[in-house]
Structure 1
């Protein structure tokens, strides 16, 4: 496992995010950059249906074209987390496209480094022990403390209001990614649910280092998705706090609690 992170929707999106990108990018920084995933060209297009998790209708507002939206989105994010924090954690270029592509790929094996909208967590993973006792050290969790505090500080209601305001741009970027008959908010909820399903191992997470990069010793963890591996790297305390924020975001963008069933799309 090499450095990397990622996190979820305007919090995911803006502050993460998932959950966010704040925590996940550095672990895979040394991996080859794959192409962004998109539906296979030979797959028949899905029949258009309504969104599974529709957002409330927003008053018509003028938005910039997608390819000219960085300045407006930067202003919106900075109003939520502060301009200084924005400069420390976010890369402002192609924000909407990179956030959408990254979120879409979190449940997959890897995420293209070239799509990274976040600046990496400083320093490298902190481990303890050797051989059969190699594991993340408790001090590793502190590497993400600032990002977790920042995520928790974001007002979820304001965050989701900003997400709804800019949603047409996120939807356009999702369509451009190769999903003409799907809805980005539905994908966001799917990704949040996937991250919430990240296991919570008891005790230190054992590691192996077959070559240069660290890997999880447990094959089940090593086979987990990019996003779930990122959540595992946070440490149990940080992971619980991020999951709590993700549940808040999920409830705000769906009007439902985890486990509740949405109406059938029409």
Structure 2
């Protein structure tokens, strides 16, 4: 697994609440042109701030350059004509770091380079559309608990759904994953530029997102949620996808931060510790 697949998996393990944010994100949004894979091409990088950043003057060089490979490391790959051609190589990298069953159970491998780059970028934004994740949604159904005062909170047992994902993430050799990331970095950079950031650097964006997620406060108490009312003649068959945080400050966090909070404090701490290891290597 590349380092970026690890990061995406760190956060998306939690995200199959649905949430109103996810429902709104399923609508197409404007994107910069040259991304060619159909599923990813519809995905924005892309709120107004992102569009402004993409059109601003590019920096003179990377703020967080990838260091030179150590003796014995394989040299970085050259960019490819079509990023979809990199799928077999990505499967090979995953197979070297995870069991075959984990690869099949957890990952979406078609157009995976673009999926990883778009998702990492979106984790620092208000929305991270599920249809272009590089990982499969967490199985099971989001559950809540109602207190005596009528306030609804995330059920303590809800975090159990994410335990297999957390164990899988903790099983990855981060040093080996970083070596793979450094070798594959030209492909990630190519996908980032195709997304609409020519002259900018994917590793700089990765460091920004990591810093944001690592700084997400841990809440040990059960977090209050509200069920968003949807008016209409058709009764909702999946009401559990319409919950959002009751606290406006939490509801306004980035997609990645909200995902961390949904996992529960124990899983959040464990994954933030893993992200700190990744942050140390990529800077």
| TM-score, shorter chain, exceeding 0.5 | yes
Cα drift, residue 44 of structure 1 = 4.5
Look up the match of 1:10. 2
| More helix, by proportion | 2
For 1:37, the equivalent position in structure 2 comes to 45
Question: Which region of structure 1 is more displaced relative to structure 2, 243-252 or 30-39?
Answer: 30-39
2:246 corresponds to 1:217: yes
The answer on 1:20 being equivalent to 2:37 is no
The count of residues paired between Structure 1 and Structure 2 equals 245
Give the alignment partner of residue 95 of structure 1, picking from 112, 121, 126.
112
Aligned runs of 1:29-108 on 2, under 5 Å?
30-33=23-26, 34-35=28-29, 36-38=44-46, 39-40=50-51, 44-58=55-69, 59-61=75-77, 65=81, 66-108=83-125
Instruction: Check whether the contact 1:45–1:181 (CA below 8 A) recurs between aligned residues.
Output: no
Cα deviations by residue, 1:167-195 (Å, 9 ceiling, x for unpaired)? 00000000001111211001001001111
Unaligned runs of 5+ in 1: 1-8, 255-266
Matched-pair contact (CA < 8 Å) for 1:63–1:166: no
Q: TM-score of the superposition, structure 2-length normalised? A: 0.79
* Shift in CA distance, 26/74, structure 1 to aligned 2, threshold 3 Å: farther
State TM-score, norm by structure 1. Answer: 0.84
Q: Which has the higher contact order (CA 8 A, sep 6+)?
A: 2
RMSD after superposition: 2.2
Distance 1:57 1:31, change over 3 A: same
